[in-house]
Structure formats: structure tokens, C-alpha cells
Amino acid sequence: MRRGKILIIVTVVALALGAGAASLPAILRAAGLHPRYAGATYRLPGKRALIITTSHAILGATGKRTGVYASEMTVPYYEFLDAGIAVDVASIQGGSIPVEPKSLRWPLATPADRRFMADPSSRAKLASSARIDDVDFASYDIIYLAGGWGASWDLGTSEVLGRKISEAWARGTLLGSVCHGALGFLKAVDAAGVPLVKGRPLTAVTDKQVRELGIEITPMHPETELRKAGALFESATAFRDILANHIVVDGNLVTGQNQNAGAEVAQDLMLLLSRKANAQ
């Protein structure tokens, strides 16, 4: 084969591979990963939201880095911020928040992730988050718990978080979570001292998804732990559960199944907040 023809074939193959790679995020989105959610437009100036994340950075004995899954923090962050809500970020131990490295890389990184990492104000909050012990939960209208593998080590075991979530629930504060974030409700109780999740419909990452992703090393699996605590666990399923999505709204509590649910959970929380504001 002549050199010119070989060069043409190589060029065509390279272009085809490049086009496929460039379209991969769109293909994943169409399949259900990080879908675009076209919700309502809210204007809620004067309201405040607190996003809480893990402080745990290492994936057990593997030694690999982990933390909050980026989009579970960044997507709700900008949903709230773009509605005029003041948004603060806190973590279990405070200080620099660890982020799951894979969640910031192509093709998994979302537009909200890139916006967050290019925003000096947002990056400052990530670098020096408040410690939950030092945060006055009573000053917020919305408290949202982000997930990620790191959350399985500290959100469900924090006595401080459990106590403060219990107090927030008693005040009627709106509570939300996505994926492993729901573990942060395990130590909370209602006014009668009954576990907050007992007999309550909610959702979080499924045991099936944990198995599919091969991250069974984590100490707490949300579906298992929430069912054990008496929650009425709900979920959707798909060919791969990373592509599934499910939202549960139960009174002042809004939960999302996995990383695909961030925008819709934030939107549902703002809908509830706008209704409360209009009723006052």
C-alpha cells in the first residue's frame, strides 16, 4: 500500500477515535449519568443553605484517595447559588475537603465541577471548610449532605452531626442528601427520640451499585444501614445502577439515589423553601 493511502487511513481512524472520545460525556449523559435537569427558576435572596461533606480522604486499606464525589457537592451548590441563596460549605472535621479524584476527571467531570474549580470563591470554601461543631445549623434554611465514598467512614458515625440534624429537624429546617450523604441521618432522632429514618421513605446509593463499582471495602453501605435502621428504602435500577436515578420527597426531607440526583434534589428543596416563604 502506498504511503499516501496509509497516511489517509491513519488520519481517518484518528479522527474517528477523537470524535468518539469527544462525544463520550454526551453519550454517558444520554444513558443517564449526570443528566441535565431543567427545573424551575427560583429567586430566594436572603435564604441560606449549608452543604456538608465528608472529611475522610483514603479508601481504606487500598491507600487510594477518595472523599466527596464532586458533582454531589458542586451541582447543588450552583443550583442554590444561582437562585440567590447564600451557600456555605462545612465538613466533619473542617479544613480542606478531600474530593474523589476520578469525579473531577474526564469524562465524569460535570460543567458544575469545572465551574467550581475555576471559581476562586468556591475553591476557598473547599480549602477551608467550617467544622460542623462550629456551625450554627439554626441559621440555615436548607441543610444538604453530599455523598462520595469518604462519607461512608464519617457521616454515619458523627454524634455531632446526628445531634445537629435532630435539632434542625425539630425546627422544621429542610434537609436533603444524595447518595452516601443519607448516612448522615442515621444518628438523628425526631422529637420523640425515635430514629429519624425509621418508618420514613428515602433513598440513597444501592448495594447493587456498590457491588458494581467494586467498592465494597467501605465500612457502611447506605442501603444496608438505612434498612437496618428501619427506613422504607426506595430505589430505581438500571443496566448499571450508576445510571439509575430516584428522588424521594417526604415532608421536609428530600433524598436522591446517587450522583445523578443532585440538581433535582436541590430543585425540590428550593420548591419547598419557596412554598414556606410564600406561606409566611
In the chain, domain spans: 1-29, 45-279
Q: What is the pLDDT of residue 77?
A: 98
Contact in structure between 262 and 256 (CB atoms under 8 Å): yes
Give the integer Cα–Cα distance in Å for 211 and 221: 10
Q: What is the pLDDT of residue 29?
A: 81
Q: What is the pLDDT of residue 21?
A: 53
Return the beta strands (E) in 103-200 as ranges: 130-131, 142-145, 174-178
Give the integer Cα–Cα distance in Å for 236 and 232: 14
| CATH annotation of 45-279 | 3.40.50.880
* Weakly modelled stretches of the chain, pLDDT under 70: 1-22
Give the integer Cα–Cα distance in Å for 215 and 182: 18
Write the pLDDT tens digit of every residue in 189-232: 999 999 999 999 999 999 999 999 999 999 999 999 999 999 99
Return the beta strands (E) in 76-173 as ranges: 86-91, 130-131, 142-145
Give the integer Cα–Cα distance in Å for 221 and 215: 10
Q: What is the pLDDT of residue 46?
A: 97
Q: What is the pLDDT of residue 166?
A: 98
Write the pLDDT tens digit of every residue in 92-122: 999 999 999 999 999 999 999 999 999 999 9
